[in-house]
Structure formats: structure tokens, C-alpha cells
Structure 1
Amino acid sequence: MASYVFVFVVLVLASTKAFASDPSQLQDFCVADNTTKVFVNGVVCKNPAHVNADDFFFSGLDKPFDTKNALGSKVTPVNVNNLFGLNTLGISLVRVDFARHGLNPPHTHPRATEVLTLLQGKLYVGFVTSNPPKLFSKILNKGDVFVFPEGLIHFQLNIGRENAVAIAALSSQNPGVITVADAVLGSSPAIKDNVLEKAFQVDKKVVDYLKSQFWTDSN
């Protein structure tokens, strides 16, 4: 009886995992056809007869990207939108460049867990759990790896004396990103002041000042 219970639990966990990430492919590949006018939950497949090696290839992540912005960081994604062969494979990646003191601000990926590897520099990283909020943070050095669970707010800050570079893998072909400050204070149309006043326990002048800032997205 114990063995039957064990098998049942394994099957339940496996089925749960199947519904917790991008759908699995039902063929060798389904290269994205981003020219189609059909809207589906994902991307329509390109005709396999027209697929070639370039559909599975992306070049250029070896070069530093411009971090001359208010945040001092730049996120360069490689996902189904620019590497069509990722469609249905449930994975993507980003390169993140940091100037000195550069910040990849608090944000979430609604559809993906992220695993980040630091290639150069020194980062302070962390994520916050759902209520009650608890911060899990570490200082990363070259070669260190840190995981940000799916959907949780997380960040990275360059605390070293040089530029920093990281590569992160994400468990979705199109993980999405919601930058907290941009979403709350820079949305269009704007969230009403009285909502933000009460949520942050500040007066209208503070809310108006924050809304007046130029909100920068490094993604």
C-alpha cells in the first residue's frame, strides 16, 4: 500500500509541475511565426518546411550594453520575441549590465523563476516573499548564483568598484516583467492619488512629486 501511495504522490507532483510552467511542445520544435495575425496563448508555429538554423541562433551578448540611464543598468533579453526557436521550449535568458552603483530595480516576472549567474563584479541581490514580507538577500561575487522564485519582487544592485555583468535564465519563453516603481507611479492612466496616499501612508504632495519623476525602465 505504501508503494501505491508513493506512486500516487509522484504522479500528482508531476502533473502539478506540468501546469506550473509553459506548455510542453508536442513536436521537435515550434519556431515562432511572429508575422502571423492569429492571436493565441503563445505564438503560432512557423511552417517546419521553412525553418532553418538561424531560427535557433542569437548573436551579440558578448558585448557590453549602454547603461547611461537614471538606473545605471541595462537588461538585454533573449526570448521568443527575438529568438523564435524558443517558442514552446519554456526557457529564455537575459544579460544584465551594471554601471558602478547601477540598479536593476525591484520588479517581478509573472511567468518565470529566474536563476542569475554573476560573470563580473559584485552585486547585492534579494527577493521579498508574499505577506508577511520577508527579505532574502546575498552579496554575490564572480561565479556566484542566486535564484529568484517565480512572481516575487526582486532586485540587483552593483556594490563593487567596477562595472558588473550577469546572465540570468528564466523558466518561460516570455517571462514578462513588472517594474514596481514604474507600474505604481508611472502607469497610464495614472493610479488615483488617494489610492497611493493611503497605500503608502503619505500626503498628496509626496505622491505628486513621485509621479512627476521620469520613470526609467532598464528592460
Structure 2
Amino acid sequence: MLLIVFLFALIFSSSSHAADFCVAKLKGAGSPAGYSCRMPSRVTVDDFVFTGLGVAGNTTNIINAAVTPAFVQQFPGVNGLGLSIARLDLAPAGVIPMHTHPGGSELLYVVEGKITAGFISSSANVVYVKTLGKGDVMVFPRGLLHFQVNAGENNAVGVVSFSDPDPGLQITDFAFFANDLSSELLEKTTFLDDAQVKKLKKVLGGTG
């Protein structure tokens, strides 16, 4: 009898604490642990579907490239699942500048065109670069500086997946020159001269 009671208690405990998913409740700030869960009664199938990757991004900009993200903010169903996805569009001469994702590793799949991609190791600054063709895949370890450049004469398209629903993004050039950090400090910390720093600040919208 005690064994039966114990089994019922175990089953009830497991079912009451288990959750199949945690669709993000996007109102309010997220945290490193993710967003809080929406009530199951408010979840619909549309929370698990994202349709934006079939549309090319607008590459008319300074980098001739576009990223269409399906991170937790755009795709609430990935909250807590340890994954997300995005589309890369690179026009001729397009580039995704040197950047990092502090929250997750990245996997690039080339859908169309040629993309030269690479990353830099943190231990010895070793550079790993490869020109990828249609169907090729390359991985970029979490937190490492990496980039993608259109290596052909036509548009290139890639799909990137991440090991986190909100991998984060910091583009090095914008981090340096699209803020109000003084030119004097930038010159000292980057070894660039005053003219170069001010030129880059002007191009990228920085001040100081």
C-alpha cells in the first residue's frame, strides 16, 4: 500500500512540475535566464512559427548587408530552448563586420552565393578563414570575434543558427566608434591617430 501511495505521489509531482515549453512573456525585461513564461492558456501555434526568413533583407546600407533575426524577441516560442535562427543577406561587396555573440555559438549554412567567413581564437589570436560555397557549413564558437563577407559578384544568402534564444550581438566597429567615448581615449586604446578616429566616428555616428 505504501508503495502504491509513493508511486502516485511521484507521478503527480513529476507532472505538476514538468513543462513542455516556456513561450516568452515579452512584456518586461529579459534576463540571462530568459523571459518569464506566458500562461499556457495564452499560447497559440503561431508562437512556434516564424515566417520572416523567406523575405530578403534590405541591403541598402553602409555594410551592404542585412540580418533578419528570429531570436526570442521576434520568435517567443524559442524561449528556454537553447536555440534561435537568422537570415543573412549580403549584396555584392556586402560584409557582416567583425562582431561577437556573447550568449551563444553560431552555425552558418550558405544557401546561395559565396561567403568568406572566419573567426579569431582568444588564446593565440589564430585566424580561421574559409571561402564557403552553396551548401557549406561553418561554426563560430561562442564569444569569439568573427565575420562574413560576400566573396562573389552576386547576392549571397546564409542561414545562421545559434545555441541560445538570445545570443546577443556586439559589432566591434560600432562599439568603438558609434558612441560618445572621447577620441583621446580611443586613440590611446586603439593606436589609431586623431584623424582616423574622427573619420570613423563621423561615418558611424559617434561623438566626442
For Structure 1 versus Structure 2, the TM-score category normalised by the shorter chain is 0.7 to 0.9
Between the aligned partners of 1:210 and 1:60, the Cα distance in structure 2 is 33
- Runs of 4 or more, structure 1, over 3 Å off, are 37-41
Partner of 1:185: 177
Unaligned 5+ runs, structure 1: 1-24
Whether the aligned pair in 2 keeps the contact of 1:38 and 1:44 (CA below 8 Å) is no
| 2:137 matches 1:145 | yes
Cα 1:210–1:38 change in 2 (3 A) is closer
Question: Is contact 1:56–1:85 with CA below 8 Å preserved after alignment?
Answer: yes
What CA distance in whole angstroms lies between the structure 2 residues aligned with 1:82 and 1:158?
26
- Matched residues in 1 for 2:29 and 2:155: separation? 43
User: Over the residues paired in the alignment, what is the CA RMSD in angstroms?
Assistant: 1.8
Q: Report the structure number with the largest CA radius of gyration.
A: 2
Q: Which runs of 5+ in 2 are unaligned?
A: 1-16
Equivalents in 1 of 2:128, 2:181: separation in Å? 29
CA drift of 1:200 comes to: 2.4
Residues 113 and 171, structure 1, Cα contact 8 Å, conserved in 2: yes
- Cα distance between partner residues in 1 of 2:181 and 2:124: 24
In structure 2, the CA distance between the partners of 1:39 and 1:131, relative to structure 1 (3 Å rule), is closer
Which SS does the other structure have where 1:95 is aligned? strand
Contact map agreement 2:116 2:148 (CA 8 A) in 1: yes
Structure 1, residues 83-125: CA drift from partner, whole Å, max 9, x if none? 1111100100010001011001110000010000000000110
Using the TM superposition, name which of 37-46 and 71-80 deviates more.
37-46
Q: Which residue identity is paired with 2:140?
A: F
Task: Specify the alignment match of 1:30 in structure 2.
Answer: 22
Q: How does 1:125-136 map to 2 (within 5 A)?
A: 125-136=117-128
CA distance in 2 between counterparts of 1:207 and 1:83 reads 38
Give aligned-pair identity as a percent: 38
User: What is the alpha-carbon distance in structure 2 between the residues aligned to residue 106 and residue 56 of structure 1?
Assistant: 31
Report the TM-score when normalising by structure 1.
0.81
1:156 shift after superposition? 0.5
Counterpart in the other structure of 2:166: 174
Residue in structure 1 matched with residue 192 of structure 2 by the alignment:
202
**Mapped contact 1:77–1:94 kept (Cα < 8 A):** yes
The answer for the alignment partner of 1:57 in structure 2 is: 49
3-state SS, counterpart of residue 101 of structure 1: coil
